Amino acid sequence: MEPTDTTPLRAVALVCTLSPSPAPSSSQLLAEQTMAALSEHGVTGKTIRIADHDVRPGVQIDMGEGDAWPGIRDTVMGADILVLATPIWLGHPSSIAQRVLERLDAELSETDDEGRLLTFGKVAAVCVVGNEDGAHKVSADLFQGLNDVGFTLAANAVTYWVGEAMQGTDYQDLDKVPEATARATRTLAANTAHLARRLKYAPYPPSS
């Protein structure tokens, strides 16, 4: 059976701002805009702000009583698309984004009956915001980490905005979305949904 443009898809956006709700967040805003763009391609889903949950440090699927990651993981594993959204701090992804990658490291031990990682059929994309240049470096870090744990990335799988150096304007403070960022978000959504549909019907070969 061939995929069509109407094949239903599920997505989850993990927002890695350091600020818990209800604090405003530029990372949350760009993630929500990305989810809205994905919805135009038949993708439904939800956004989770990691700082609102007790995600314990570690590299296991479950780090014990009170750890919120197992429930979040269930959502990720039930989705076709993972969007990882982070601010830039000191030129790097946030510590929460790094923790998400560390928790995803546990997937290296989880395989299906044919030896494939359970993440092999899933597509990832990245959202980055910050007030200094560094979006390419941060997206490169996240791309490598996500690919290491089995996710596939489409062409142009990042949307980002960075403000002028040494200034205090946040993405959420802008009067309108810059066209370059809006175009990147649209491209991310179209390419990510396209790839996710194809992987859904043409999975990777069994691992030897």
What is the DSSP pairing of strand 81-89 with strand 43-49? unpaired
Q: What average pLDDT does range 58-71 have in this prediction?
A: 97
Model pLDDT, residue 3: 55
Q: Which H or E element spans position 30?
A: helix 26-39
What percentage of the chain's residues is helix, strand, coil (to nearest 5)? Answer: 40, 20, 40
Using one digit for the tens of pLDDT, what is the confidence trace for 84-129?
A: 999 999 999 999 999 999 999 999 999 999 999 999 999 999 999 9
- pTM for the predicted model, two decimal places: 0.96
DSSP H helix total and E strand total for the chain: 5, 6
Q: E-assigned strands of the chain?
A: 9-15, 43-49, 81-89, 92-93, 123-130, 152-162
Dihedral angle at the C-alpha atoms of 81, 153, 83, 127, nearest 10 degrees? -160
